[in-house]
Structure 1
Amino acid sequence: MSAVLECRDVRKEFRGNVVLRDLSLDVAEHEVVVLIGASGSGKSTLLRCVNLLETLDDGSIHLDGEHITDPKTNPDLVRRRIGMVFQSFNLFPHLSVLDNVTLAPIRVHGLSTAAAEARALELLERVGLADKAREFPDRLSGGQQQRVAIVRSLVNSPRLMLLDEVTSALDPELVGEVLSLVRDLKGDGMTMLIATHEMGFARQVADRICFLEQGAILEQGPPEQVLGDPQQPRTRQFLQRIIEAGRL
């Protein structure tokens, strides 16, 4: 399979602190790659670099072969092909669910209101939220708001989805409904790069798990290998702490 995403020797520093350390990673078409690691290991920063929310200090990132971190690249055009969902829902509180979802298709992609709403309602129906289309975000549960945020990213038919700790802001009983939606996206063949602390979720959806440590990929492989038989002592130590916390 061809690589949708290619990261080559990516380096990122913040005020002299190296957050990504010459990291290289490919994500093939239809592949789901899950990033795990302690807080501060570079997972979220990598996603932000891929979505051009941060500039690289060295290295390059390619989307379908296009060098998107070239300074001449228009970030807005690149982001049309990438969907990103954050741990905070980032919905506009003054807009209805439907208006949140259709804003970009109408304003950025030039779709007619009728076409954008038809597509949005189709996706909201799929995730069980069609009846909430006219509600405002504060009338929804956290899990419902996060599903709306995912739909908002899906409505533009992205080439790549980036999910950054999408369950960390949710109450435990609401996590399942969001994870179920992500499993459905995997079933559809969506190419995804996901950062998560949910090891059970990682085991279920990942084709490959990458364990990040101090901004580099220390170990990677199929879920059963990385989570069940890790080769690196640091990976084993990290997973043991997760087990002790009851999260694996």
Structure 2
Amino acid sequence: MTTPVLRLESVRKSFGEQVVLRDIDLAVPTHSVTALIGASGSGKSTLMRCANLLETLDDGAIFLDEEDITDPRADEDSVRRRIGVVFQAYNLFPHMTVLDNITLAPRRVHGLGRAEAEAKALELLDRLGLAAKATEYPDRLSGGQQQRVAIVRALATGPRLLLLDEITAALDPELVGEVLAVVRDLKEQGMTMVLSTHEMSFAREVADQVCFLDAGVVLEQGPPEQVFGDPQQERTRQFLSRIVAAGRLAPSS
């Protein structure tokens, strides 16, 4: 069996008396896409923040290529260099051009020279249809373009794993498609990804495994055809029926 890129083992996280993650177990195989679905407040974003060490666990462990990255002795900077993260807020520096936004981390954190960092950034921008925007400032771009730039910035460091946290949530509906097309392309290229999303049809299409979170518990997980087509848990069925009723997911045939 292939060693998973990311593995969560009995992960627990609370904020005060509120338990947000309860004994989460999850394995993300290499070259796979794992989709986290569930209602707002189910723990999806907290799970992502824990995986990138932005939150400290109360219990359990997280492994990146079988290295316990939650061990207090782990080098957090080294870990974060291997994990790319894109949030729903673009978090681009407004006073810097697209190219400077993308090359900042490769130059400052990875020690790449300007020419090498810019060459790689331009290659990625071209791949995502943004080469003409390299010298623009973020406020001159559409929301979809800004989010694609944020994805390029995450890819510029050559991450082992890409975490995508509700990356279409802040976009106008007509811009969602261009960002999801990028994720499809990354999947075809073999990028290992974990994405939390409310785009159920997209999750069903692109994910290799789907995890339904409810009240901080992975209540159900499996291939998309099973979770969406034949959910085993009543709570999963209730959630999906509401999504179908809202017109955000076509009924399974």
Q: Same fold (TM over 0.5)?
A: yes
TM-score by length of 2: 0.97
Give structure 1 regions of 4+ aligned residues with deviation exceeding 6 angstroms.
none
Identity across aligned pairs (percent)?
71
Any conservation in 1 of the 2:3–2:66 contact (CA below 8 Å)?
no
Residue 134 of structure 1 corresponds to which residue in structure 2?
135
> Which deviations, in whole Å up to 9, do the C-alpha atoms of 1:36-64 show, x marking residues without a partner?
00111110000000000000000000000
Question: 1:34-113 to 2 correspondence within 5 Å?
Answer: 34-113=35-114
Any conservation in 1 of the 2:163–2:194 contact (CA below 8 Å)?
yes
Cα distance, 1:231 vs. partner? 1.2
Aligned residue pairs: how many? 248
Distance (whole Å) between structure 2 residues aligned to residue 52 and residue 246 of structure 1: 36
Residue 17 of structure 1 corresponds to which residue in structure 2?
18
RMSD after superposition? 0.6
Cα distance, 1:173 vs. partner? 0.3
Cα distance, 1:90 vs. partner? 0.5
> Which deviations, in whole Å up to 9, do the C-alpha atoms of 1:180-222 show, x marking residues without a partner?
0000000011111110000011011100000001111111111
Distance (whole Å) between structure 2 residues aligned to residue 93 and residue 31 of structure 1: 33
Distance (whole Å) between structure 2 residues aligned to residue 75 and residue 2 of structure 1: 21
SS at 1:22's partner residue?
strand
Residue 238 of structure 2 corresponds to which residue in structure 1?
237
Paired AA for residue 67 in structure 1: D
- Is 1:184 matched up with 2:221? no
Cα distance, 1:164 vs. partner? 0.1
> Which deviations, in whole Å up to 9, do the C-alpha atoms of 1:62-89 show, x marking residues without a partner?
0001110011222111000000000000
Paired AA for residue 203 in structure 1: R
TM-score by length of 1: 0.99
Residue 214 of structure 2 corresponds to which residue in structure 1?
213
Distance (whole Å) between structure 2 residues aligned to residue 39 and residue 85 of structure 1: 18
Cα distance, 1:91 vs. partner? 0.4
Cα distance, 1:167 vs. partner? 0.3
Paired AA for residue 124 in structure 1: L
SS at 1:3's partner residue?
coil
SS at 1:104's partner residue?
helix
> Which deviations, in whole Å up to 9, do the C-alpha atoms of 1:121-146 show, x marking residues without a partner?
00000000000000000000000000
Residue 155 of structure 1 corresponds to which residue in structure 2?
156
Cα distance, 1:9 vs. partner? 0.1
Residue 225 of structure 2 corresponds to which residue in structure 1?
224
Instruction: Give structure 1 stretches of 5+ with no counterpart.
Output: none
